[in-house]
């Protein structure tokens, strides 16, 4: 009886601090992402996350109206 199979509850989706979202982007941006992915060995998802994080860390909000 010592050799028991232990099965634990599966983590709910999103428990890893990630969320799945859907966005629409132009074909040329996809092509650019794919080219960078090919050159760097990174996934499209990794690149998008890195680029978004960089943008959020460096954004400046101009309060002037257009």
Give the tens place of pLDDT for each residue, 4-33. Answer: 888 888 877 667 788 889 999 999 999 999
Q: What residue numbers bound the domain in which 38 lies?
A: 27-58
Residue 32 lies inside a defined structural domain of this protein: yes
The rounded distance, in Å, linking the Cα atoms of 49 and 43 is 10
Angle between helices 44-58 and 27-40 (to 10 degrees): 110
Task: Tell me what the pLDDT averaged over the chain comes to.
Answer: 90
**pLDDT score at 22:** 94
Residue 49 lies inside a defined structural domain of this protein: yes
Residue 15 lies inside a defined structural domain of this protein: no
Measure the CA dihedral 19/23/28/33, to 10°: 0
H helices present in the chain, as ranges: 27-40, 44-58
Residue 11 lies inside a defined structural domain of this protein: no
Residue 3 lies inside a defined structural domain of this protein: no
Eight-state DSSP code of residue 11: P
Query: How many domains does the chain divide into?
Result: 1
Cβ atoms of 30 and 47 closer than 8 Å:
no
Residues 38-46: what's their mean pLDDT? Answer: 95
Residue 8 lies inside a defined structural domain of this protein: no
């Amino acid at each position: 009886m010592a050799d028991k199979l232990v099965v634990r509850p599966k983590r709910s989706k999103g428990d890893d601090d990630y969320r799945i979202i859907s966005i629409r982007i132009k074909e040329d941006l996809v092509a650019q992402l794919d080219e960078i992915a090919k050159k760097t060995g990174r996934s499209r998802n990794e690149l998008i996350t890195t680029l978004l994080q960089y943008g959020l860390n460096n954004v400046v909000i101009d309060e002037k109206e257009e």
